[in-house]
Structure 1
Amino acid sequence: MLSRIKRILVNHIKENTNRYFWVFMAFVAGVSAGAFTVNGLSTLQSEELINYFQGFLHIMDKQKLNSNEIFMLSLQNNMKLILLLWVLGVTIIGIPFIFLLIIIRGFVVGFTSGFIINFLGIKGAIFNLLAVFPKEFIIIPCIIALGVNGINFSLNITKSKSIKQMLKYNLKADFLSYSMTTVLFSILIIGGLLIEAYIVPVFIRIIIPIINT
């Protein structure tokens, strides 16, 4: 089963190399914009974010967190994004908005990571490595893949200019494949969310003493 899934994923990437490149570039553009935005923050904005981050670390260190609640909240937020990408994929005009969502996701990652490094320096890099990147290493590739999946299906709709052509090109079968691919990557994203909810808090508690020294 796992080998079959792996084969499907590898073939999917090989068949869509160019689109993966451009979607990945959109993500990188978002990350870069987010990182540069950190340098443009005013002193007041920086202080507010620092206070918020310090409060977050205090809660993580002193209070017992409900991992189930963290997981459900993250699941709700990510399922909204997945559903939105899926909906955009079944519309003719959805492609620009798919790129926009990928850029926004990259911006969030770049801003978050950039701010933490700007505030904590090397300690911030360690924090990102243990607290931010573990889940993102799984979630980000899946979000990019969902973006490519949506672009592919949207282009298929565009090519089908009439109902007869839609039947000819077997768009119904493509729709089923499109939806099943979305489900597959959603399952992988859930794996990343489980890491965020149940493993990352352990890492954060380990590195908090290092950050506070």
Structure 2
Amino acid sequence: MRRQPINNQIGDYVKQHFTLYIFTIVLFIMGVIYGSIIIQSLSLQQKQEMIGYLSQFFHGLTSNGDTIFSKKIALKQVIFDHLKYLGMIWFLGLSIIGMPLIFILIFMKGFVIGFTVSFLISQLQWKGFVFSFVSILPQNLLIVPAFIIASVAGVAFSLSLVLTRIKRNPYSALTHQPFLSYSFLFIMMGAILVVASGFETYVSPYLMRSVANWFY
């Protein structure tokens, strides 16, 4: 039996899980919206503290004190954070009860982005929009799709475990090809996140510093 070309396999996979993709994307967008709204509920003291952190951040950017050593440390930390989040989704996908937790993780990912962008815009107006555009958008063009794809894969695998449990064969999804395919997809998403981490560590600070110097 001849195997399908890889592009046909990807197309079939997306069609098969199209509803899950729509639901996950909507859930992520809801997280962004909720994060942008919750900023209005912060107390004056909380906003002042965050403004203080923001001022320190801009001061650090304009001082240009980065070294190759500090960049390597930052890169390792960013990669670790992204892969830890990805690993949590992979692990939860191996559990029947992991599905709702995966949805919570993707919602929180959207919440953090929405909260950050909303805070920057609320404090810096159009400057905050420009700063968000150069500091948050570029790497998230890779990060967000990678996490959405991983989340759909995790939920789909968790659902397959439920179906095999109903069929009284609870371990079939964890053996051979399904598990290998599931894990390989996460390895690919991990590679994308490593690339995004490199951009976030080496390119984004340069863009942010350029914008910060332009502002101040």
- With normalisation by structure 1, the TM-score equals 0.91
| 1:9-158 equivalences in 2 (<5 Å) | 9-65=10-66, 66-158=70-162
Residues 140-168 of structure 1: CA distance to partner in whole angstroms, max 9, x if unpaired?
1100110000011111111112665754x
Q: State the alpha-carbon separation in 1 of the partners of residues 174 and 53 from structure 2.
A: 52
Q: State the alpha-carbon separation in 1 of the partners of residues 100 and 131 from structure 2.
A: 34
Residues 57-106 of structure 1: CA distance to partner in whole angstroms, max 9, x if unpaired?
11111142222122111111111111110010000011100000111111
Runs of 4+ in 1 over 6 A off after TM superposition: 4-7
Q: State the alpha-carbon separation in 2 of the partners of residues 73 and 12 from structure 1.
A: 33
Which of 197, 209, 214 matches 1:210?
214
Q: Displacement of 1:26 after TM fit? A: 1.0
Say if 1:8 and 1:110 are closer, same or farther in 2 by CA, change over 3 A: farther
Q: State the alpha-carbon separation in 1 of the partners of residues 7 and 122 from structure 2.
A: 38
Cα-Cα RMSD: 1.9
1:199 aligns with 2:203: yes
Q: Number of residue pairs matched?
A: 208
Q: Displacement of 1:17 after TM fit? A: 1.3
Q: State the alpha-carbon separation in 1 of the partners of residues 40 and 54 from structure 2.
A: 17
Q: State the alpha-carbon separation in 2 of the partners of residues 165 and 60 from structure 1.
A: 53
Q: State the alpha-carbon separation in 2 of the partners of residues 142 and 7 from structure 1.
A: 20
Q: State the alpha-carbon separation in 1 of the partners of residues 28 and 110 from structure 2.
A: 5
Q: What residue identity is the alignment partner of 1:149?
A: A
- Could you tell me whether the CA contact under 8 Å between 2:139 and 2:200 is conserved in 1? yes
Q: Flag structure 1 segments of 5+ consecutive residues without an equivalent.
A: none
Say if 1:91 and 1:63 are closer, same or farther in 2 by CA, change over 3 A: same
Percentage of pairs with the same residue: 27
